[in-house]
Amino acid sequence: MNVVVLGATSAIAEQVARLHAARGAALLLVGRKPGRLAAVAADLRLRGAARVEVRALELDELAAHAALAAEAEALLGPVDLVVVAQGALGDPAAYAADPAAAAAVLHTNLVAPASLLTAFAARLARRGAGSLVVLGSVAGDRGRGSNFAYGAAKGGLALFAQGLRNRWHRTGLHVLTVKPGFVDTPMTAHVPKNPLFASPERVAAAIVRAADARRDVLYVPWFWRFILLAVRAIPERVFKKLDL
């Protein structure tokens, strides 16, 4: 199996990569920091990966995406799985003074992933095989004051993935949208931990299982599906007063 991991130094992506390495996959890791990519790559090789290639790349640069998809095939051969995991949380407190910061969050979490998905989807669909795994978030299920740009981006990304799923369904291309709840990662390092937090290992195991089973949407841990069902059901009139 040939696997491309975009945002490979993110904690969830790294754990997903470990599970594929243990199955003997060949991997291409893409991320921003060469030193960290090298550390992850060495680990994956020792965990049983058939091959690990790394590319240090600024994934916000849309112009590089088509070439990256082509390069992935040239390096690995036909790609079976693409994990789109790059992301950034942003800080709503900074947006008022710097509206571009809000737009940058949309770019990193929606525009760039959408461009990457498009580039890879076309290639995978031509072969009529493979899976795209998109890391969304439960934050994308409802707009909230505490992270409106991030939430909007993740919500948009989920819609985008849904559209891709619909468009390519007949070709055999599979698209999995993952909606993790709170995960204990560097992104949430500043958030006090509570029992709702899940470990990246647990989330990764669920993602791999869901991708194997070719599911459409995965809430992880599972209870978030019900929490979000309730959250979405709250009328706007009430919700806006809740200060979430």
Partner 1 sequence: MAPVESWGRIRAEGAARPLWWRDDPLPEVEGTMLPFGRGRSYGDACLDQGGTLLLTRGLSRFISFDEATGLLACEGGVTLGEILARFAPLGFFPTVVPGTKHVTVGGAIANDIHGKNHHRAGTFGAHVTRLELLRSDGSRRVCSPAEHPELFAATVGGLGLTGLVTWAELRLKRIPSAFIRWETVPFENVDAFFELSARSDTTHEYTVAWIDCLARGDRLGRGLFYRGNHAEAPFRAGRRRRPVTVPFDLPDAVLNRLTVKAFNALYRWRNRGAGERLVHYEPFFFPLDGVERWNRIYGRSGLMQFQCVLPFDRGLGGVRGVLDAIARSGQGSFLAVLKTFGGLPSPGLLSFPRPGVTVALDFPRRGERTLALFRELEGLVLEQGGALYPAKDLVMSPRMFRAAYPRAPELERLRDPRFESTFWRRVTAAEERP
Least separation in angstroms between residue 44's CB and partner 1 is 9
Between CA 94 and CA 91 the distance in angstroms is: 6
Tokens of 4: 């491309």
Q: Is 234 in the site for partner 1 (CB under 8 A)?
A: no
Per CB under 8 A, does 51 bind partner 1? Answer: no
Q: Which residue stretch of 23-31, 56-64, 168-176, 193-201 sits at the interface with partner 1 (rule: CB under 8 A)?
A: 193-201
Rounded to an integer, what distance in angstroms lies between the CA atom of residue 115 and that of residue 20? 25
Out of 120, 150, 168, 224, which one is annotated catalytic? 150
How near is the Cβ of 193 to partner 1 at its closest, in Å? 5
Interface residue with partner 1 among 69, 79, 198, 203 (CB under 8 A) is 198
| DSSP state string for the chain | -EEEEETTTSHHHHHHHHHHHHTT-EEEEEES-HHHHHHHHHHHHHTT-SEEEEEE--TT-GGGHHHHHHHHHHHHSS--EEEE-------HHHHTT-HHHHHHHHIIIIIHHHHHHHHHHHHHHHHT--EEEEE--GGGGS--GGGHHHHHHHHHHHHHHHHHHHHHGGGT-EEEEEEE-SB-SGGGTTSPP-TT-B-HHHHHHHHHHHHHTT-SEEEESTTHHHHHHHHHHS-HHHHTTS--
Span interacting with partner 1, options 39-47, 84-92, 111-119, 128-136, rule CB under 8 A: 39-47
**Would you count residue 34 as binding partner 1 (CB under 8 A)?**
no
Which CB sits closer to partner 1, 92 or 200?
200
- Using the contact rule CB under 8 A, the part of the chain among 37-45, 91-99, 150-158, 233-241 near partner 1 is 37-45
Per the annotation, the verdict on 95 as an active-site residue is: no
- The smaller minimum CB distance to partner 1, of residues 171 and 199, is found at 199
192 versus 235: smaller Cβ distance to partner 1: 192
Exactly one of 40, 89, 178, 207 binds partner 1 (CB under 8 A); that residue is 40
| Other Cβ atoms within 10 Å of 129 Cβ, number | 14
Residue 193 touches partner 1, criterion: CB under 8 A: yes
Considering only residues 149 to 188 of the shown chain, the ones binding partner 1 according to CB under 8 A are 184, 186
Query: Which residues would be at the binding site for partner 1 (CB under 8 A)?
Result: 11, 22, 35-36, 39-40, 42-43, 46-48, 184, 186, 189, 193-199
- Active site residues per annotation: 150
